[in-house]
Structure 1
Amino acid sequence: MGDLYALDFDGVLCDSCGESSLSAVKAAKIRWPSLFNGVESSLEEWIVDQMHVVRPVVETGYENLLLVRLLLEIQLPSIRKSSVAAGLTVEEILENWTKLKPVIMNEWNENRDELIELFGKVRDEWLEKDFSSWIGANRLYPGVSDALKFASSKVYIVTTKQSRFADALLQQLAGVTLPSDRIYGLGMGFVYLSLMVTQNIGSIYYLVSF
């Protein structure tokens, strides 16, 4: 009988903020092309910088698209469609995101599943067209690779990231290949909970990011 570790991915094993922010800008341009007409590169760079600040509020990847658009509306009054953007600060986004998100989803008439699909598609296309730069936009935290390679307990990944992306990063950055049934990603529900409790294990340890 041994212990089992269920690890979150983003914020625990991997700093993916750079990749997710750049992917979100790419996806936002596809979702709302007219809003980005004439947007200068300096403003895009500002948005990416601010995405690093607001990253802690993101629970699921598609929220990055919402944050990109909200930051754009904060800076460009002429394109505003939401009632919350005027005068909104980054600090207020951090404090009130759970209240802001349903408001902008409704006012922008957005669909969660469509945003998830688009965000995944943009990442897939980047990965396929320029694998090295996609990998390079992510980094593992110090010590993660060795900890996974030499773990004496069974390790599972439980993440809101789509599992194929977590798997690719583990292989390329950590040199670790986990069986597919030990990576539980977005859309896989809570199957992992029933799996864990039916195994003959000593203790289960969860490590998640907040």
Structure 2
Amino acid sequence: MGGGDLYALDFDGVFCDSCGESSLSAVKAAKVRWPWVFEQVDAALEEWIVEQMHTLRPVIETGYENLLLVRLLVEIKIPSVRKSSVADGLSIQDILENWSKLLPTLMDEWQEDRESLVDLFGRVRDDWLENDLSGWIGANRFYPGTADALKLSSSELYIVTTKQSRFTGALLKELAGVDFPSERIYGLGTGPKVKVLQQLQEMPQHQGLTLHFIEDRLATLKNVMKEPALDKWNLYLVKWGYNTQKEREEAGDIPRIQLIDLPDFSKQLK
């Protein structure tokens, strides 16, 4: 097969700023999961929680983690509901720097399991989507120019995301006006991104194409770099997604990773 380009594209933080929706959904789901934790949470504290969730968004890899963050923020503010050993004196900066260590501790101390949290988060979103589609859609936004870049591209495109595929498809259709083929969306449950990239590069129809992977999480790109089998992928970190200035500076020192801004993204997908 001749030349051409294949793009594997993350969704949240590359195309869609879903932080408003995911934070509000997480608060709804956390209230269902731990009603006693929220008995003293008033509207002002809820608003503060949602504000902090925007700051903390870079640490989230998979949606269910939002629920844990919401509960942790409540425990930081209301000592009487504390069941974790880490909440006392914990700052927002501490969470940003140590989330990968805090996450397993919280899961253990709160006796939670990943699957039931994933399921609950999905059900709460489904319920909101079904009963208030315009409200659910309106809590998300596409980054300027990204929907057009998707529509106008002549390259082979795949969405590779930790979001559940049905929500990704709904947002592409309702918010971006793009009927993106569902078989080209690799969402939560399709395996780690490194495995998906390997599958894509091995497909017969993709032989001879130049491979590009565009992400907003530096940690994900580092995981790809650890896999020698994925050496053919060109790696990009977007400057507008859920990453920090510190991560962008670190990426700038890694020769294999290219930093990309919004105007260049639209040109890149061509």
TM-score by length of 1: 0.97
Q: Percent identity?
A: 65
Shift of 1:202: 1.5
Distance in 1, matches of 2:157 and 2:55, equals 30
* Contact 2:8–2:197 (CA under 8 A) maintained in structure 1: no
Distance in 1, matches of 2:64 and 2:136, equals 18
SS class of match (1:6): strand
Paired letter, 1:60 = T
Provide the aligned length of Structure 1 versus Structure 2.
210
Distance in 2, matches of 1:195 and 1:91, equals 37
Distance in 2, matches of 1:157 and 1:195, equals 11
Shift of 1:209: 1.2
* Contact 1:127–1:134 (CA under 8 A) maintained in structure 2: yes
Paired letter, 1:9 = F
Matches within 5 A, 1:10-89: 10-89=12-91
Distance in 1, matches of 2:160 and 2:27, equals 26
RMSD (Å) for aligned C-alpha atoms: 1.0
What corresponds to 1:102 in structure 2? 104
The runs of 5 or more residues in structure 1 that have no matched partner are none
Match of 1:207 among 211, 214, 218: 214
Distance in 2, matches of 1:193 and 1:178, equals 22
What corresponds to 2:268 in structure 1? none
Distance in 2, matches of 1:77 and 1:108, equals 15
SS class of match (1:93): helix
Shift of 1:112: 0.4
* Contact 2:63–2:121 (CA under 8 A) maintained in structure 1: yes
TM-score by length of 2: 0.76
Distance in 2, matches of 1:4 and 1:186, equals 21
1:187 aligns with 2:192: no
SS class of match (1:206): strand
Paired letter, 2:210 = S
Q: Any runs of at least 4 consecutive aligned residues in structure 1 with deviations exceeding 4 A, and if so which?
A: none
Distance in 2, matches of 1:129 and 1:20, equals 16
SS class of match (1:177): coil
What does the per-residue CA deviation read over 1:65-111, in whole Å, with 9 as the maximum and x for residues that have no partner?
00000000000000000000000000000000001111111000000
Distance in 2, matches of 1:114 and 1:85, equals 23
Shift of 1:191: 4.6
1:196 aligns with 2:196: no
What corresponds to 1:135 in structure 2? 137
Paired letter, 1:83 = S
